[in-house]
Amino acid sequence: MSRNRCRCVRLPVVRVQDSSDLPQLPDEIIEIIVSKVLPTELVAYGWDQVSRSFGTFVHRTLCSKVYYCALHDPVWELYQTTRSCYDLKKFDKFLILLIKKYICQVEDIVLPVSLFSHIQHLLEKHSFLAATSGTACNFRHPQPGVAFTNLTKLTIQIGAECGGLTLSHNFENLKASSSLCKTLQEINLDIVLSDNEDVTCAGFRELLRFLKEISYKLTVWNIRLSDNTTTGQGWSGPANLNRYRNKMFICYIRTMMDLSLQINQLELVDKRKASPYMLVMAHGRRTIYMFPEFKICRSLVICYDIGLIAPVFSHENDRFDDLMHFEVDESHVLYKADLLEYLKSAHELREVRVVIPSTFYSRVSRCTEGCFSNPDFACFRADGWCSVPAKLPGAHFEIVANDGHASVVTQ
């Protein structure tokens, strides 16, 4: 039960008297049935207008929902089908009603960037949303001047079917962000990079400046970068790095550094990564080049085959005291010794975790050709990481299977 659950007085449901002998459902059963209906449908069909007593059931249901994900809600499909036709005005009216009666009180919200941009345009166009949100329930105390009263955690999904992010999204009005909410405790950005470059560093910078206005010093920033490009994240010289900046992870990390945003968790994912069992004798291997800036976070998760490591000698005086957790998730590490040297400058590192495929050891036991003795698979064996305790004496090291079963734990 949520701490924001509605405390409106329960009123008995007024029933229409009829001559039928059918049994009438108790009020408790009616409330359970209402709680199973999507909040979007409750608002769309005006269930709270049936009667005053029935409206209390609807209010209690809406106030108990503190998490909202637009991607799993009819709103997202409706928005996609109406944004390019004349019905967009009807959609706006419905979205305004949904904000006033439901979304205004959620604490954790997940939005595609295109819908997030559309909501922000509505807040700019209709200033009354920031003045009247949260008034549907007598026990909900809205904060003046904001549309989302209780919002503390915001997740924005960018790229692919969630929509691109360019300067055309127009997040330059920084004052408009103050009408969204007061301050956010956590901001999550999930970005998919592709060859069509529908996500740009310039648009990303503008969005960050917009979100920075509703954050504060203790706001947690988590970013997930997924690579769906054909070029990959290998090493690039300065010229190529500038040419392909909209496709490179490092450019987005440096954008956050330029705005002095502290990253809590950085997750780097290869959406085109081959199966861990299919890399023997593979040509054109996709690997990520490990820049030093990847260590400027508290938790670094790599779901990408690790290739070249940034030279240690050119950064030997650098200290990366923020990094405390490092994880390699079902990914090959071509140069483990270099990776350990890379991590030595993270003086506060407390945990190194290697996640192997869940069926790795069972497949090794069934193999008769000796394929798994290939150096490609050394990163999945404990003996391949035998130098970790010596190189990183202060870190807890473990190798675990993807199903959570711990195979090797070394302190």
What's the CA gap between 348 and 69, in Å, rounded? 35
Handedness of CA 63, 64, 69, 72 (dihedral sign): negative
Across 363-380, average pLDDT: 65
Q: pLDDT band for 345, please (50, 70, 90 cuts).
A: confident
User: Which pLDDT belongs to residue 3?
Assistant: 46
- Higher pLDDT residue, 61 or 233? 233
Which of 331, 315, 308 has its CA nearest to residue 399? 331
What's the CA gap between 377 and 358, in Å, rounded? 14
Pairing assessment for the beta strands 396-401 and 406-410 based on DSSP bridges = antiparallel
- Which residues are 410's β-sheet partners? 397
User: Which pLDDT belongs to residue 188?
Assistant: 96
Q: pLDDT band for 157, please (50, 70, 90 cuts).
A: very high
Across 74-86, average pLDDT: 81
Q: Where are the domains of the chain?
A: 28-65, 66-410
What's the CA gap between 405 and 329, in Å, rounded? 14
Best mean pLDDT range from 74-83, 169-178, 323-332: 323-332
Q: Chain centroid to CA 192: how far?
A: 11
Statement: residue 136 has pLDDT above 60: no
What confidence tens digit (pLDDT) does each residue in 9-67 have?
A: 666 666 666 655 546 777 777 777 777 888 888 888 877 777 777 777 777 778 878 89
Q: Where are the beta strands (DSSP E) in 15-166?
A: 67-69, 108-112, 153-158
Across 244-262, average pLDDT: 93
Which of 301, 169, 293 has its CA nearest to residue 222? 301
User: Which pLDDT belongs to residue 1?
Assistant: 37
Across 375-380, average pLDDT: 68
Q: What are phi and psi of 236, to 5 degrees?
A: -140, 140
User: Which pLDDT belongs to residue 2?
Assistant: 43
What's the CA gap between 269 and 226, in Å, rounded? 5
Share the mean pLDDT of the chain.
81
The number of CA neighbours under 13 Å toward the Cβ of 126 is 16
Q: What is the residue whose two structure tokens read 């529908």?
A: 198
From first CA to last CA, the distance across the chain in angstroms is 40
CB atoms within 10 A of CB 347: 10
Alpha helices, H only, 213-248: 238-243
Across 87-104, average pLDDT: 85
Weakest mean pLDDT among 152-156, 163-167, 261-265, 310-314: 310-314
At 324, list the tokens.
């405390």
- Higher pLDDT residue, 310 or 47? 310
Statement: residue 142 has pLDDT above 60: no
The number of CA neighbours under 13 Å toward the Cβ of 41 is 7
On the 0-12 / 13-18 / 19+ scale of CB atoms within 10 A, 5 is middle
Weakest mean pLDDT among 25-34, 110-119, 268-277, 304-313: 25-34
